[in-house]
Structures are given as structure tokens and as C-alpha cells.
Structure 1
Amino acid sequence: MKRTVRPLVAGALLALLATSAWAEQPVVEMYQDPNCGCCGAWADHLEAEGFTVERHKTREMRAIKIEQGLTPELASCHTAVVDGYVIEGHVPAADIHRLLEERPDVAGLSVPGMPHGSPGMETGRVDDYRVLGWHRDDRTPEIFSEYTH
């Protein structure tokens, strides 16, 4: 027996797929020091949330951060680029999904330092932390989201 999908049902299914977690996400290009373990754990977190992560190991992290417009106040261990946005440090996948959905006028998102309890830093201790957004011409950060425990 041949099965057909009616156009209305097919259209609704395509719309659902386009707006769901099943929709294809842009590739995350992640740069990390070859000796860093938490960077890989963060990439695993993103992959579990539907992202494809291309991992690049390099000893030139300072140069990459400068090239991406990151100040020392915004810096963390790894730097990523996704769909034109810079992602610095242990930014949760939910915030990256929100960034890509809302498309705010920011250069990127950062979780400065390496707060315990952030994705990739699950050490048993949980710190409060903020996800910051910044603009390339004015690097004064603004709060994008906060995590308190």
C-alpha cells in the first residue's frame, strides 16, 4: 500500500521542523588550547543540544581572542564563532540558541573566567555567573542572561 502525505500536513510538518530543535543549526567553529579538557566538555554540551562543533586545537589563543575583538575582561579559555557571532567561554547552548533566534546587534556572548557549574565546568561546585553581550565599537558588556543557584 502506497502512503501519501497531504500537502497541508506536509507543510505543517515542514514548518514544525524549521522551528524545532530538529532544525539544522549553523556549525560552531571552536578554538582551544590542545591541553584544555573543559573545552571539549563544553563542545560535548553543544553537540548534545543539536549543534555541530568543529574543534580546532591551537597554541595561538591570544591571537585568536585579539582577532575576534575580545578584551581581557571578556576572556575565558576557548573561543568559538557561529554564524558571525563570537562565543567566548562556557556559554550555555540555550543562550546560543536564543542569540541565533533573536539576532541582537551584538558581536557575541561571553562567560568570563571559568565559573563552576557552567557547561563544561561541572565540578560539583556551582557558582553564580552571567552571560554577557558586547558590541565591537563599544566593548562595554551588557547582561544577556544570569544563572544563580
Structure 2
Amino acid sequence: MDQVLTARRSVLIGLPLAALAGAASAQTPKRMTAYKTPWCGCCGGWIAHMRQAGWTVEVIEREDLAPIRAQHGVPDRLASCHTAVAGAYAIEGHVPAADVERLLRERPAARALSAPGMPAGSPGMEAAGREPYTTVLILNDGSTRVFGRHNGA
């Protein structure tokens, strides 16, 4: 009888714990908004890369992206051709999906992640060749640090 009660107690205690573990491991939806100019083709390549990585991307076309970058603290020297917003972070330019996912997993005290310019071989820029490049984390105080290295950078 004691063994039966112990087994029942284990099951009754274990079920809620298993449910909590499952809820904790469930991922939040991968959603972002991407701002791009109407005439940029490589932005579409980056958006396709993000969608292929499982992201839902809402696209908003704007003639001028400078106000979006300014709103999210991305300085002109780190600008690219499109700006996305995922969670509390701006994603500037051709940042690989793996870097975006790492950013959201680690949640550093930062405002944005940037692949400055339009590096050849970055997602959406594959047709331009291949060059080493870095992604740069823009910290809350405006300073930067290298976040990721790509193509042998």
C-alpha cells in the first residue's frame, strides 16, 4: 500500500513539474518588423534568409530609414540598407539569423546588432562574392563590441 501511495504521489508531483519544464522550454514566436526602402533588392534576400530560419517578418517600406535608425540608436557609421526590430533590439543590415537568435537568447544590455555596410557573402548579399565581416553589438551607452565573425573574419 505504501508503495502505491508513493508512486501516486510521485506522479502527482511530477506532472506539474513536467508541465512547467515544457512551458519554460517553449520558444517565444520568432517575429520581427523589417523596414526597407522600396528599391532595395538585397533586403528581400535577407528577409528570405530570416523567413527560411523560421522567422515571421512583417515588411514596411519607407523612403527614408534614418528616422528608424535614430529611434533605435543606430549611428550612421553602422548603418546598412534595412533595419529590423526584434523584441527590444534593432537589427541593422545583413545580420545572420544565428546572430539574431543568439542576441535574443543572451539578451545583453544593448540596443542593436549591426552588420555595417553591405558585406559581400552576408545573408542577402551572396551574389556579391564573399568577404570577411563582423557583426557589431551596439551597447546602451553607444559603444560597440564585436558580436560575431563571419566568412573567416
Corresponding position of 2:137: 133
How many residues matched?
138
Please list the CA deviations of residues 61-114 of structure 1 after superposition, one character each: whole Å capped at 9, or x if unmatched.
122112221112110000011101010000000001111111111111000000
C-alpha separation in 2, matches of 1:13 and 1:131: 33
What residue ranges of structure 2 are gaps of 5+ in the alignment? 1-14
- Correspondence 1:147 to 2:141: no
SS of match in other structure, 1:134? strand
C-alpha separation in 1, matches of 2:62 and 2:30: 22
TM-score by structure 1 length? 0.83
Corresponding position of 1:65: 69
Larger radius of gyration: 2
Corresponding position of 2:12: none
SS of match in other structure, 2:58? strand
Corresponding position of 1:49: 53
- Correspondence 1:31 to 2:35: yes
C-alpha separation in 2, matches of 1:17 and 1:46: 22
- Pick which of 67-76 and 51-60 moved more: 67-76
Pairwise CA RMSD: 2.2
How much does 1:12 deviate? Answer: 9.5
Higher helix share: 2
4+ residue stretches of structure 1 with deviation over 3 A? 10-17
What residue ranges of structure 1 are gaps of 5+ in the alignment? 1-6
In the TM superposition, what are the counterparts of 1:77-92 in structure 2 within 5 Å?
77-92=81-96
2:74–2:138 Cα contact (<8 Å) kept: no
Q: Write the letter of the residue equivalent to 1:143.
A: V
